Amino acid sequence: MELLLLSNSTVFGRKYLEHALEPISEILSGLKEVLFVPFALADHDRYTAEAAEALASLEVNVKGAHNGDPVDLAKNAEVIFVGGGNSFRLLKALHDTGLVRVIRDRVHGGVPYMGSSAGTNMACPTLRTTNDMPIVEPPTFGALNLVPFQINPHYVERNPDSTHMGETRSKRLEEFLEENDVPVVAVREGTWLRRSADHLTLGGSEAGGVLFRRGSSPEQLRQNADLSELLKVPAHFDLQEARY
């Protein structure tokens, strides 16, 4: 299995995907066509064109999954790239079009998968650690399950100078862990997870990430951290514990 899971597609001051062209070129080595899944945004044509422009220097052809039968296109794709946007809209579209099972089968069969933001969320077992507003209702939170743990893209810590008294991102992830015993890898801007077979690493920016586990304090993750052990950790969702 070959995965490249970006926290974000754009870094401040740089063009779309520019910060990640090196790992993208590695995963696209020898391939000529990318199937881009643009369903996380409303304007599919414009989004696909943006992806095509960003990958033009790598000399690959980018085809939108909306330009034909998405299932047939996915069944014949050399590589699948699922773009970011709203995770609820994206997951609903993947289920509505029948792409969930097809993408999962193709990736398990060796077809490389790239995701950014919402597309990275789709690689998890469920949608539950997304940051997005539920603007639509997918039939289930079940996602592609390409990794056995959860990911939280765009992770940021609370600004100590802020007067905002609402929930922080870490608090929300801790609440997730109160109900589920599943590791969560929170990836900061400019970082990504790279899986090749049974090897998983955190790449990109020196900002690194944070590993959240049930019953443990958050663990800071450095650039190039080896996270392969997470591919073997069992996940337990919807824990039924006595509350009183």
Are 89 and 62 contacting, i.e. CB atoms less than 8 angstroms apart?
no
Tell me the sheet residues that pair with 150: 184
The SS3 of residue 145 is: coil
Q: Which of 7, 9, 87, 117 is catalytic?
A: 117
Residue 16 CA to chain centroid, in angstroms? 16
CA dihedral 71→143→16→43, nearest 10 degrees, is 60
Residue 19 CA to chain centroid, in angstroms? 16
Residue 178, C-beta contacts closer than 8 angstroms, at least 6 positions apart: 214
Q: Which H/E stretch holds residue 221?
A: strand 219-221
Asked about 199 being catalytic, the answer comes back as no
Asked about 132 being catalytic, the answer comes back as yes
Asked about 105 being catalytic, the answer comes back as no
The SS3 of residue 63 is: strand
Q: Which of 25, 96, 154, 170 is catalytic?
A: 154
Tell me the sheet residues that pair with 187: 209
Q: Which residues are catalytic?
A: 117, 132, 154
